Structure 1
């Protein structure tokens, strides 16, 4: 496993990539409401990334993916393809996954959950899933192991009656959209894959948490992953940099309280 250590110049470029990804989410958030289609969300994000940021939406044409963002609604775990067939409606929950590739060639990757109107089940699931992400982030520091992050996610999810998706994981990120290491969200590391974190490593943590069981399947389009039991699912994601003393959240948004990470 060849896990890149980012140079100071690369870290500067990753900070800009993360800032851009966060800015896309902040731009689109006021538009995500009942009545909008995921196709329109995709177009707004694409135009902002290309015309305002001067960057590229990394998912577009990535291994044939046809759109610029991923929109995953209700029981769609990840990689939902935006379209104009249906509008968002009250009671839906949706994950929006944004990855920007800057003009310098570096990637910022983040995803968030939206609750359309009210959904008691959805609100609790989204909150617990974000807590899973935050609990893992709080453990990141040189010398920590990836398995510690995974256990924190799994224990919190299962303590609240949920399950952790095993078929998808986080990943290293930089000049490559997906780099080493693979970042599991459940305690499933083989000893040789249980990486010890070091300053300068950069990766995503992006737990996918289901109300039902953890099993998923991919639909015939080759992309859309859904829960097999059609239960609700949620995901939050940040791009993270291991620092000398802890973690820097490269995709931090202005609406987040990350004071729990303070030294």
Structure 2
């Protein structure tokens, strides 16, 4: 069942997502070559808690950290480690959630550390742009997969591929609510978009194949061909006038 949110609930979600957006902004400024991914996680958790929220991911289905830190060929769910240090030229993806006054916020960002390759830079840009292409269809009366199709067409038109095994989702009192939101597929399918829907739309885009696999830690998802991947996500709400991005500073 898709839960439509009231104006009061949307306002709380706006606050939860503000915390997520501010955490992203803070961490991007703090990340330098040599920092460990465990330190990134510690800084992120402290920031979220200092804002009066709780990290959504910590302990969720057994996930051991507060910030998903995925590097280069890692698509999503990278586990922070004291042994893993960020290197010059890395493509870093951070996925962050915050639980505030009964509601979740969720957003992901990818960016380069130090001097990155032209291919990595283009991948990051295309992944972010694909999100904004997708939400051009996030209007009441459209179908859910109108968003999905728009993302896929844009990404593949740029010569990259869209991950199939992981998708976006509804969000609210639960981190993952209905509906699932694929980043690929034919338009005109799925539920009608309605005012009050809150959706976490998150393209995951690869340089090579769209196929992925999960490592032995049972969390970290990598590209099957070990080529680069990027991730961009925002929580939005459908309004009469179209999408409002909740997870932005």
What TM-score, normalized by structure 2, do the two folds share? 0.97
- Please give the residue correspondences for 1:1-263 in structure 2 after superposition, counting only pairs within 5 Å: 2-50=1-49, 52-102=50-100, 104-118=101-115, 119-187=117-185, 191=189, 194-253=190-249
d(CA) in 2 for partners of 1:190 and 1:60? Answer: 36
Contact 1:70 1:97 in 2 (8 A): yes
Flag as ranges the 4+ runs of structure 1 deviating above 6 A: none
Q: Which runs of 5+ in 1 are unaligned?
A: 254-263
C-alpha distance in 2, partners of 1:189/1:141? 14
Measured on the aligned residues, the alpha-carbon RMSD in Å equals 1.2
Q: Using the TM superposition, give the Cα deviation of residue 189 of structure 1 relative to its aligned residue in structure 2, in angstroms.
A: 7.8
Q: What 5-or-longer segments of structure 2 have no aligned partner?
A: none
Query: Would the aligned equivalents of 2:146 and 2:187 in 1 still touch at CA under 8 Å?
Result: no
Please report how far the alpha carbon of residue 152 of structure 1 lies from its aligned counterpart in structure 2 after TM superposition. 1.0
Q: How far off its partner does 1:175 sit?
A: 0.6
Please tell me whether the aligned partners of residues 162 and 203 of structure 2 are also in contact (alpha carbons under 8 angstroms).
yes
Which whole-Å CA distance do the structure 2 matches of 1:206 and 1:235 have between them? Answer: 7
- Indicate conservation of the 8 Å contact 2:16/2:53, yes or no: no
- Structure 1 stretch 227-236 or stretch 32-41: which is displaced more? 32-41
1:188 Cα deviation after fit: 5.7
Cα distance in 2 for partners of 1:188, 1:243 equals 24
Label 1:252 to 1:197 Cα distance change in 2 as closer, same or farther (>3 A): same
Tell whether the 8 Å contact from 2:143 to 2:192 is kept in structure 1 after alignment. yes
Distance 1:241 1:28 in 2: 25
Alpha-carbon distance, 1:92 to partner: 0.5
Find the residue that maps to 2:107 and give its secondary structure. strand
> Could you tell me whether the CA contact under 8 Å between 2:74 and 2:229 is conserved in 1?
yes
Q: Per-residue deviation at 1:105?
A: 1.3
SS in 2 for 1:196: coil
Structure 1 residue matching 2:35: 3-state secondary structure: coil
The 3-state SS of whatever aligns with 1:180 is strand
CA contact (8 A) 1:32 1:114 kept: no
Q: Distance in 2 between matches of 1:212 and 1:14?
A: 35
Aligned length: 248
Distance 2:68 2:187 in 1: 28
TM-score in terms of structure 1 length: 0.92
